[in-house]
A and B are shown apart, each in its own frame.
Chain A
């Protein structure tokens, strides 16, 4: 896979080519990520744990975009980081291209990272202000021994062109760029090592509305061009619907529903997904005046001490006795449509 800036043709093939290809790039099984809560100054005792991610299963097929949505604190960013082994998962398996990542040693993992990269949320905090753009994008090339000297400079210029920036900006510092342009630099840095898989953690939420669309389009173009696979983490359901092939909805450390984008948005099975979708305002007063909104009461409970049984039962209008006692299993209710609920459907 080579970055060829001359290749300007933009052909859309992805949505038909990937469905049912049956080849999983990423397999996540029973993944748990708990952060210990400690007490004491010298002798630290563990008094509890923040169960940020508490047993999730999903797969990502090669070439597809899996959208991961949920409200803040539901564990979606933690999931992304645990997959890339930026956190050491508490339990569970993460298989990338059939290689188990959780048991890999440092050097082996470092080599794997060439194949998986991340784009961060905040384009202001994720670029080192004291490094030039050339150094920021060139660093991964050096770390992975991909290019040096003149070759490196040429690669960096090529990458800048690919993400729609002036290739002669290599000596500039991040503060000289606008938010949207900075996010493009972040994308170029992720692309530098020619990865197969990119975790995009809220890549557009810090940007202005008119700039968001520029970055979404850029990510889509790059996916088609370099056959990338995305895990797209966001809280904006409209954006996730637009960019994803399949969508997973998280609530308090668990995936509550996972389906193809059309299925999930047209006939959500889990009450939380239904409430979430109905809460999104639609920019059309005619539609807005007719919509019925499900307003959830209360806030998301604490992941330190999640509710018993189904975690959503404290805010669910369908909840019955069983919901507070038994944690519902994550079952395939319809082909390729999973949900964890005792009373799924409308």
Chain B
């Protein structure tokens, strides 16, 4: 399949008073036309920053893309000037944001907001754009679209607003849609509606999707391939079936073990990932996951593993772990049965409980809450 997008060694950093936050730290991946890719990870792992970097939407300052290349359709997005980027944004690459309330302009009607892109990119005139807007709203399942096109965002419910966002993203027939937690703010029954809609659209228009989420359930049914991110790096790449059947990275194991499943038969105890997410200003020198990993050995603290192919897995399955790589101690481990050294788990719990508060605060440095004024 021809490559639509190739990201090479992307580094995006934020220069803050406390230090340099390495939000995205050497991310590389490819995407074929019409493919759906899941980017999974917890908050602060760099998945949203990756998406914003692709569209050059990183707020500068404090952010900056310091290194790397983003080849989209054969052109490097990072080398474009502002006008060229604007030509791509919304036109070839569109984005669906998490919170449909804050990402729509409350003082403009829906028709104005969708028509804007149509008039700008496709050079439609007003009445043409309006006609197309109504078509788009019908396409995403908004009832009596003709009447509702002149409503304001507050007159729509959360699910309907997300449909408007999707209509807006589709407006210029983009080749790639970045969906950043598109259903996180929605209720389950509405989430099911939106996911169904996205699935249908991806099939119909052969648009490539990058679906960014923390919910492994959502990506399981929606994507062809999944990249798991942790601490600003991709730690595991595999196709969707393979990732769930044969994960090869202790962090992925931890994620799968820590979520209760709706179809679990007996009541088993959850096995959480102990500890806290890494501090991206001063990340651990070795493997980013080492401080929370119950399978760790000395090498994990000393040297960072590379993302590479691993034994006992499909050809395109890669993981960033000393243990599961060729010659490692986890090559034959059955993650469902062997939960690792429980003494190490206790050790991690103790370490975190004793952690000075400064370290905890640093781990959360991305959204520092206001300090109390005594």
Contact = CB atoms under 8 A, between A and B. Distances in A.
Interface string A110-142: 000000000000001000011000000000000
Interface stretch (B29-37, B58-66, B174-182, B188-196): B188-196
Interface string B363-374: 110001111111
A324 interface: no
Nearest to B230: A210
Interface residues of A, number: 59
Given A129-B370, A210-B258, A299 B271 contact: no
A71 B373 CA distance: 38
B215 interface: yes
Main secondary structure of the interface of A (DSSP, over half): helix
A289 B224 CA distance: 12
B196 to A, nearest CB: 6
Which has the most chain A C-beta neighbours within 10 Å: B240, B256, B357?
B357
Interface residues of B, number: 62
Contacts of A214: 272, 274
B274 A176 contact: no
Given A214-B274, A276-B189, A293-B192, A208 B43 contact: yes
Contact of B264 (A129, A241, A277): A241
B227 to A, nearest CB: 15
B353 A165 contact: yes
Interface string B290-312: 00000000000000000000000
A209 interface: yes
B4 interface: no
B260 interface: yes
Interface in B333-368: 349, 353-355, 357-358, 360-361, 363-364, 368
Interface string A298-309: 011000000000
Interface string A242-254: 1100000000000
A213 B259 contact: yes
B354 to A, nearest CB: 6
Interface string A176-203: 1111110000000000000000000000
A284 B372 contact: no
A130 B258 contact: no
A241 B260 CA distance: 8
Contacts of A282: 217, 220-221, 261-263
A173 B257 CA distance: 32
Contacts of A235: 187-188
Contacts of A38: none
Given A213-B258, A299-B190, A281 B372 contact: no
B355 to A, nearest CB: 8
Rank and list the top 8 A-B pairs by shortest CB-CB distance, nearest first.
Answer: A281-B217, A213-B272, A242-B260, A288-B221, A213-B258, A279-B192, A283-B216, A71-B187
Interface of B: 42-43, 157, 159-160, 187-193, 195-196, 214-218, 220-221, 240-241, 244-245, 254-264, 267, 269-274, 276-277, 349, 353-355, 357-358, 360-361, 363-364, 368-374
7 contacts: A166-B353, A176-B358, A213-B258, A281-B191, A283-B216, A283-B256, A285-B244
Interface of A: 15, 71-72, 124, 129-130, 164-166, 169, 172-173, 175-181, 208-214, 216-217, 220, 235, 237-239, 241-243, 265, 275-289, 291, 293, 295-297, 299-300
Given A275-B189, A288-B220, A288-B221, 6 more contacts: A71-B188, A210-B255, A238-B260, A276-B188, A279-B192, A295-B196
